[in-house]
């Protein structure tokens, strides 16, 4: 079941990010370790999670990026849930939410290991996001037209 995340879900979402197999490289692990203590959200933010029997299977966060454009800021699927359709389900929900919010497109700066997933979901390559702050590597950049 997908539902809006509440602030009391934060610990489970942080754990999911910190345990993600997409961030196993030392630099990526360090970036997540720096990011998660600062990450907060409210019930009004566009943070949605998928859970089954009380277990968080994944989540996404949308943020404003410009007129008619949202950014998929965070998108994580639990390691054990990968390959079970959870990512597709969450991605479809994210696109529905973006449309409901009036967006015509969603931009995505992706973990390099997730690029093929976003392409399968219909996003198109539009460039590369350069390193910034604790993110010391280039990231493929995508756009999903809604």
Q: How do the pLDDT tens digits run along the chain, 146 residues long? A: 999 999 999 999 999 999 999 888 888 898 999 999 999 999 999 999 999 999 999 999 999 998 999 999 999 999 999 999 999 999 999 999 999 999 999 999 999 989 999 999 999 999 999 988 888 889 999 999 99
Which single residue is written with the structure tokens 């993110």?
Answer: 135
Q: How many domains does the chain have?
A: 1
Instruction: Supply the pLDDT for residue 27.
Output: 86
Instruction: Supply the pLDDT for residue 38.
Output: 95
Q: Are strands 124-129 and 55-66 parallel, antiparallel or unpaired?
A: unpaired
CATH number assigned to the domain comprising residue 131: 3.40.630.30
Q: Are strands 105-109 and 69-77 parallel, antiparallel or unpaired?
A: parallel
| Nearest CA-CA partner of 108 in 78, 140, 66, 76 | 140
Report the alpha-carbon distance of residue 21 to residue 113 in Å, rounded. 10
Domain carrying residue 111? 2-145
């Amino acid at each position: 079941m997908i539902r809006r995340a509440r602030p009391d879900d934060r610990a489970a979402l942080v754990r999911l990010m910190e345990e993600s197999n997409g961030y196993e490289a030392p630099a990526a692990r360090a970036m997540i370790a720096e990011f998660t203590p600062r990450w907060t959200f409210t019930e009004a933010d566009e943070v949605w999670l998928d859970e089954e029997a009380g277990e968080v299977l994944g989540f996404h966060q949308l943020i404003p990026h410009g007129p008619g454009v949202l950014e998929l800021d965070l998108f994580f699927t639990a390691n054990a849930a990968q390959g079970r359709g959870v990512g597709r389900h969450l991605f479809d929900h994210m696109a529905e939410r973006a449309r409901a919010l009036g967006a015509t497109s969603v931009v995505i700066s992706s973990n390099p290991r997730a690029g093929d997933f976003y392409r399968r979901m219909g996003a198109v390559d539009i460039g590369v996001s350069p390193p910034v702050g604790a993110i010391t590597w280039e990231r493929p950049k995508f756009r999903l037209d809604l």
